[in-house]
Amino acid sequence: MDEFDLEKYIWTSDEDFAQMGWHDCPIYAVAFPPSNTNELWLDIDYLFHWVRPTKQETYFQFWVAPSTLVFENVRNVNFRFEHFLDIEVDSISRDGPVTRPNPDFVGPNAEWSWLIQCHTGSITLNATGFSQYVRSKPVLNKTSQLGRGNRIPYSFAQDIEDE
């Protein structure tokens, strides 16, 4: 496969959560944008597909793309980490939904309790959902992350960089 057939560039919790997985996705940066949106932004490399090694190869390869994961209408954010070096996601799960406090004032009526379980800690939060913005086409890579040298460092862009 010379090019990964990317279905779409914007993925959402409402439509896509059940088919998505974030295992081994690195988190390069976290931001709370200066706006009234109450969002949490994560700069990640998203692994679209793990390629099994052939008989002549030893290691997996990965179709990877830089992405911005945006949680919407966020509250009760907690970070618990042993250290902040090389943070990689193990899984993302959610419980709920439950009725939001004050939905007439703050937006959507339902919210979820989210757990971003990482190898060295976790992030918990309440949010109405997420949108994940794929910033460029996936590339075939020998490791599960593009690394700081092969991507725009610390980007929270929500548009496509190479189109």
- Delimit the domains of the chain by residue range: 10-145
End-to-end CA distance of the chain: 21
Per-residue pLDDT at 161: 63
Token pair 């090019």 is at which residue? 3
pTM: 0.88
User: How many other CB atoms sit within 10 Å of the CB of residue 52?
Assistant: 8
Judge contact between 154 and 28, C-beta under 8 A.
yes
| Higher pLDDT, residue 116 or 150 | 116
Instruction: Calculate the average pLDDT of the chain.
Output: 89
Q: Which amino acid is at 94?
A: R
